[in-house]
């Protein structure tokens, strides 16, 4: 028997079972448990919604604070870097002027 024939036989057996098989009755408490489970899911979704309304603004404020900290530290770094450049330029000018003074 090939694999395709086995698959066809399995499908045919399944279809025959579904057409001629007995209907199974669910457990008497099945619907009560199902309803409780669905209600529990709704409750947890409601709780998640409350958590999201609190966490979204908190996360936004955290990101904003981190951006402000990064910008201020970057500004301080650029300021110190520009001061260093200015000091180096002044030293160079002073050296040039002292050398010019010595040559006269």
Q: Where are the domains of the chain?
A: 26-103
Round the average pLDDT of the chain to a whole number and report it.
80
d(CA 62, CA 51): 16
Q: How confident is the model at residue 60 (pLDDT cuts 50, 70, 90)?
A: very high
Mean pLDDT value across residues 80-101: 71
How many angstroms separate the CA atoms of 82 and 100, rounded?
A: 27
Task: State mean pLDDT over 73-84.
Answer: 76
Q: Which whole number is the average pLDDT over 28-55?
A: 79
Residues above pLDDT 70, as percent of the chain:
82
């Amino acid at each position: 028997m090939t694999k395709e024939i086995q698959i066809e036989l399995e499908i045919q057996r399944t279809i025959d079972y579904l057409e001629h098989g007995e209907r199974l009755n669910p457990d008497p408490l099945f619907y009560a448990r199902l309803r409780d489970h669905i209600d529990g899911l709704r409750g947890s979704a409601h709780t998640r919604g409350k958590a999201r309304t609190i966490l979204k603004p908190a996360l936004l404020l955290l990101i904003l604070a981190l951006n402000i900290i990064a910008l201020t530290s970057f500004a301080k770094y650029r300021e110190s870097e520009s001061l260093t450049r200015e000091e180096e330029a002044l030293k160079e000018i002073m050296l040039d002027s002292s050398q010019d003074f010595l040559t006269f």
